Structure formats: structure tokens, C-alpha cells
Amino acid sequence: MSQASESASSFLSFLRRENIIAPEGYNRWRVPPASVAIHLCIGSVYAWSVFNPPLTRELGVVASAGGDWSLSSVVWIFSVSIVVLGLTAAFGGKWLEKVGPRYVGVVAATLWGGGFVVGALGIATHQLWLLYLGYGVLGGAGLGLGYVSPVSTLIRWFPDRRGMATGMAIMGFGGGAMIGAPLIDWLLNLFQKAPEYLGTANAVKLVTEEGRRYAETANGLVEVVVANASQAAAVGGEAGVYVVGTGNTGAAATFLTLGIVYFCIMVIAAFQYRVPRAGWKPKGWEPVHSASGMVTRNNVHIDQAIKTRQFWLLWIVLCFNVTAGIGVLGVAKTMIHEIFGDLVIVTATFAGTYVLMISVFNMVGRFFWASTSDVIGRKNTYHCFFVLGTLLYLSIPVFAVMGGNTALIGFYIATMIIFTMYGGGFATIPAYLADIFGTMHVGGIHGRLLTAWSTAGVLGPVAITYLRDLSRNNAINDLVAQINPAAFAERFGAPVSQLRELVDAKTVTIARLMEIAPAGTIDPTPSLYNTTMYAMAALLVIAFFANLMIRPVGEKHHVESTHPQAVPAE
């Protein structure tokens, strides 16, 4: 067993840190493209909302069937991947300092690509736990390792421009959806297959049992969904009755394809990683001491960092900044449909473009704000995030109530600025950590701080789905109270007393209730996210005060005092 272990270690030795030290005269600008490539691949996690529609109608295809997964259960897959990302980064960050970025990058490629393959199996067999295991757990671990692998390397290659360097790499993560979203859309359309069409709703005899719709055919009852014109048009069909389980959304084949493609790209990129030799610095550059004391020349050991007040204040800063944006990211495509779906301009293409633009602004914000932090300082940069962000989150309910094209423009601009600061927060935090704790263990400290991302990965989606579901259920109850019970029973094939079963089976929705609501009834859909926006603004206020309290680390925490046997990297 020992011999086998030694053999495996020898086989993989070419990946380890000591064997990828850059030679004299190495061009440091060769490292950022590899970092960007890996982050572009794992950054497609931000395009997760594109998967929400097909996964919530995997059986019904044109519309959600009773046996389909709910939006809240699917959104949690995204949450699990982010939680595992943070936990893996927390442990993997220290491992990264030992084995180096190339080793970690190859493992990340295997986990991220393999997670998609396992997820594809889960979709094909309609086993939700396999999707959680593949995309959520394995894929999340690949995310965590792929995310931290370039950070400490780039900070060491670019000590003169820390913010810009980390902004370049993490920019790729924010831009992952820019490539991923249209690619996923294209693959879904390529592999999609329309279900069997039985005819118009008036031409087919329908019955309702336990909230589900069935059609009487020559072969007996078959479960069906009733699709409107826009739903059927998505698969090239027409409004009417479709048989559940006879079509294909293309999600499984899309997952499998992406897994193979991402694995290949990430492995090639990982082999481009190099690390600078000990004591290396850019030609002609000398460290400059910050007059404010916020940029230190000292180092704090990775195990000592979490004992400092500064670490936990930065944890709150990152957690609440991410929480305020990550929940919206997970349901972005759904949200714009629900708030402005009555406008002619808000088509499926428009919503897809909106997701794409989120990725663009997320990406641009990472480079812009991280580079700006090199000029105005990290602390002031986060002050901008929290003051401006609070005002923008509070503006969204105003635009939702206003409605119309002008409000849509305001909503669009507000959310795009929010996402620049959301991405900017990620890109600026590694440089902030290097300023506060030094560069000796910045990769490992950054990994541990990313547990804040894990926490936010739960808080954000939980808040937005819980508050949205609460608002939706209240809205449905209010609408039903205004509708004639006889009209309700005629439309849905069941009495009002079965409302809960009908809602759970997705037979009754706000949109379908509005079709039979009395004239003049106001559609409550645009206001479903108002409470959530107020809650997110409150989190940013708390984060502002946490950032305000950050001060330089005391000498008692420096590595010379806590770990004198350690030799600083600089």
C-alpha cells in the first residue's frame, strides 16, 4: 500500500508546486489567461437560472406537471454548490499552499466536469438527489478549488497591482454566465423534443384527480398538462393538451456535454500555471508603506488570522454583500418575467439577454472595482458598495409598483449596477486580505473567508424563495377570495376547498387566476419581491458598519510573534 502511494505521488509530482517554479525571465502575463479560462468555466454557475425553467418542467416539458420538481427545490441545488464551494475553499486553501495551483486546478477540473456528468444521470433518471450530489456536492467542490487556485499565485506575481491582478482572474468567474448562458440555451434547444400533442383543451375530455390533470384516451387516463400559446411556442407547438413524460427538455444531454467541454478546457488551463521563485518581485518595484496603515508589510499566519477581529469583520462584509446579490442571481430570469412580464418587450429572448447582461456587468465590475481599489483603497471601495447598494435595492420595489417601460429601464440599470458591486466585492476581497494579513498565507486565508460565501449561498436563496413564496401564497388567497367559486371549479375542475392541492400540483397559479379574476383586479405578481429587497438593503447597512470598524492587525498577531519558525514569503 505504501509502495502504491509512493507510485501515485511520483506520477503526479509534475503537478506539484516545487516542479512548476518559473525560470528566470519568465513573463508573468502568461499566468492571468490561464486563471481567466478556469474561472470562465466554473463561472457558468451564475447561469444556473437558465436551467430553472427546463428542470421545473422536465416531465411536462411545455409546462410543469404534478411530478415535476418545484422551483424552490431546484434553486437549492445552486445553494448547495455555493455552500460546498466555500467549505472546500476553506480546507483546500491550505492544501493549495502546499501542493500548488496546477495540482489543485487539475483536481478542480475533474470534480467540476464530473459533477455535470453525475447531474446528467440524475436528470435522465429524474432522481433529484443525484443532481444534488453531482452539481451541488462534486461540482461545488470543483468550484471551490478552481476559485482559489489562482488567487495567491496572482497576488505573488503582481504585488504592485494586487487589486487589478485578482480582478482579472475573478473577472472570469463573473463572466462565466456571459458564455455559459447562451451556450446552455443553444444546447437545450438542440436536444429539446416536444411531447405528444392530444389537441386543444376544448377538444379533449379532461378530469382532475388530487390536483393533477388527466385526459381520457382510448388507452385510458393519461396525465397531461394544459399549455397556453406562449408555453407551447417554446417547443414549436400550439396551445392545448400535452402528454406528460413523452417529451424532452434537453437538460440531461446539455449537462453531459458541458461536463466534457469544461473538463478539457480546465485541464489545459491548469497546465499553464507557474509560481514565482522565493523572493521574486517585479523589476524596479519596491513595497510602499500605506500612510493609513491599512496595507501591512507584515504577515499573519493562516491559523492566527481567524483569531483576529479583522477576519470576522471581513467575513460579515463579504457574507452580507454576497447574500444581497446571490439570491437575485439564482432567480434573475424568473424575477424579470414576474415583475415586468406584462410588457410586450419582455420576451424569452429579452429575459435571456438580461441574464447575459448580468454576467457582463458582474464581470466588468470585478475588474473595474478591484482596479479602483488600488487607487482609493479597499475600505473606501466597500463603503461605495454598501451606500450605493442600499439605495439601489430600495429603488427596485418602487420600479415594480410603477410598471411600464420607464420603470423597466430603471430596474434594469439599478440591477446592473448592483451586480457590478456584487462582482466587485469578490474581486476586491483577496487584495483586502493581503493588505490586512500580508501575502504569506493569503490563499489559505481567502479560502477560509469564503465560508462567508457558503453562508450567503444559503441565506440569499432561502430569503428570496421564502419571502417570494409567502407573498405568492398570500396573493393567491386574496385572488381566490375575489373569484366566483363556480367559475373557479369550472376552470380548474375542482372546488376551492382543494386550493392547496391544486397549488402544490401547479394547476393553480397567479397567472391562471388572473384569467378569471373580476375586471379591474390588480395583478400582484410584480410586488412579489418587494419584501426581499427591503431585507437585502438592511443587510448592506449592517455590512457598512462592519467595514467601518476594520482597523490594522495588531503586532501580537504577526507571524514573528505567533509562529517565529515560519519564514515569510517576502
Write the pLDDT tens digit of every residue in 300-346. Answer: 988 899 999 999 999 999 999 999 887 676 667 777 877 887 787 88
More confident residue, 168 or 420: 420
More confident residue, 237 or 545: 545
Compute the distance between CA of residue 304 and CA of residue 297 in angstroms, rounded to an integer: 17
- pLDDT over 70 at 9, yes or no: no
Asked if 155 and 431 count as a contact pair (C-beta separation under 8 A), the reply is yes
- pLDDT over 70 at 81, yes or no: yes
- pLDDT over 70 at 505, yes or no: yes
pLDDT at 291 (0 to 100): 47
pLDDT band at 143 (very low <50, low <70, confident <90, very high): very high
pLDDT band at 2 (very low <50, low <70, confident <90, very high): very low
DSSP lists the bridge partners of residue 224 as 243
pTM (predicted TM-score)? 0.74
Q: Which of 173, 177, 145 is nearest to 367 (CA)?
A: 173
Write the pLDDT tens digit of every residue in 12-68. Answer: 677 887 888 888 888 888 888 888 899 999 988 878 888 988 999 899 888 888 888
pLDDT at 232 (0 to 100): 84
pLDDT at 330 (0 to 100): 61
Compute the distance between CA of residue 154 and CA of residue 480 in angstroms, rounded to an integer: 58
Q: Which of 176, 172, 148 is nearest to 433 (CA)?
A: 148
pLDDT at 538 (0 to 100): 92
Q: Is 286 exposed, middle or buried (0-12, 13-18, 19+ CB in 10 A)?
A: exposed
pLDDT at 231 (0 to 100): 81
- pLDDT over 50 at 252, yes or no: yes
Query: Which of the 8 DSSP states describes residue 492?
Result: H
The pairing of beta strand 206-209 with beta strand 240-243: unpaired
More confident residue, 429 or 350: 429
Compute the distance between CA of residue 378 and CA of residue 395 in angstroms, rounded to an integer: 26
C-alpha cell belonging to residue 355: 441574464
Compute the distance between CA of residue 224 and CA of residue 231 in angstroms, rounded to an integer: 14
Per-residue pLDDT averaged across 502-529, rounded? Answer: 84
- pLDDT over 50 at 6, yes or no: no
More confident residue, 450 or 2: 450
pLDDT at 100 (0 to 100): 85
pLDDT at 494 (0 to 100): 86
Query: Which of the 8 DSSP states describes residue 528?
Result: T
Whole-number average pLDDT of the chain: 85
pLDDT band at 255 (very low <50, low <70, confident <90, very high): very high
Domain borders along the chain are: 28-193+248-278+295-483+518-562, 194-247
- Who's near 9: CB < 8 A, 6+ residues apart? none
More confident residue, 504 or 116: 116
Asked if 146 and 109 count as a contact pair (C-beta separation under 8 A), the reply is yes
**With left for phi above 0 and alpha for psi between -120 and 50, is residue 27 left, alpha or beta?**
beta
Residue 205 dihedral angles phi and psi, to the nearest 5°: -80, 115
pLDDT at 134 (0 to 100): 96
More confident residue, 165 or 80: 80
Per-residue pLDDT averaged across 261-277, rounded? Answer: 91
Q: Quickly name the fold that domain 28-193+248-278+295-483+518-562 has.
A: Growth Hormone; Chain: A; (1.20.1250)
Compute the distance between CA of residue 292 and CA of residue 218 in angstroms, rounded to an integer: 81
Write the pLDDT tens digit of every residue in 480-496. Answer: 989 988 888 888 888 88
Write the pLDDT tens digit of every residue in 377-419. Answer: 899 999 999 999 999 999 988 998 888 889 999 999 998 999 8
pLDDT at 166 (0 to 100): 79
- pLDDT over 80 at 4, yes or no: no
More confident residue, 559 or 257: 257
- pLDDT over 50 at 497, yes or no: yes
